[in-house]
Amino acid sequence: MDFFKSIKLAAAAMTAQSGRMRVIAENIANSDSTADKAGGDPYRRKIPVFKNELDREMGFNRVNLEKIIHDKSPFGKKLDPGHPAADADGYIKTSNVDGLVEMVDMREAQRSYEANLNVIKSTRTMIGQTLELLRR
C-alpha cells in the first residue's frame, strides 16, 4: 500500500472517531437532564452511525460518520413530586443515557483514535527512513 494512502485512510478513521467522541461527550453532559415541563421529554441519547464509503480517488473503502440517530430506549423515572415536570404520581422522566455505557464507548473510541494515530506516526517514520536510504 502507498504510504500516503495509509495516512489518508487512518486520518479518515480518526475523523470518524472524533465525531463519535463528540456525540458521546454530549450524551455524558446531558445524562442528568430532565424534562422542563410536565409531559415533556428529557434529553434522549444519541448514537453515531458509520458508513463504509468508497474513495474513488484513492481506491479504497473508508469509514465516515453518516448520521446521528436517537436511542429509542425508554426514559428512566425518578420520584420528585416538587419538580415542575412531575406527573400526577410525582414522577419525572430522566434521560435514557447510561453513564457506564458512554464511558465504555468513549474508551473504545479513544483507543481506535490512538491506533490510527500510531499508524500515521509509523508511516511517517517509514517515509523518513526511506528518504534517508535514498540519500545514501
Question: Using one digit for the tens of pLDDT, what is the confidence trace for 103-134?
Answer: 999 999 999 999 999 999 999 999 999 999 99
**pLDDT over threshold 70, residue 1:** no
CA angle 44, 25, 53 (to 5 degrees): 85
Mean pLDDT rounded to a whole number for the chain: 92
Could you state, in order of their start, the residue ranges of all structural domains in the chain? 3-135
**pLDDT over threshold 60, residue 96:** yes
Who's near 62: CB < 8 A, 6+ residues apart? 8, 9, 12, 13, 52, 53, 55
Q: Return d(Cα 94, Cα 75) in angstroms, integer.
A: 6
Q: What is the pLDDT of residues 24-56, one digit of tens each?
A: 999 999 999 998 888 889 999 999 999 998 878
**pLDDT over threshold 70, residue 74:** yes
> pTM for this structure?
0.85
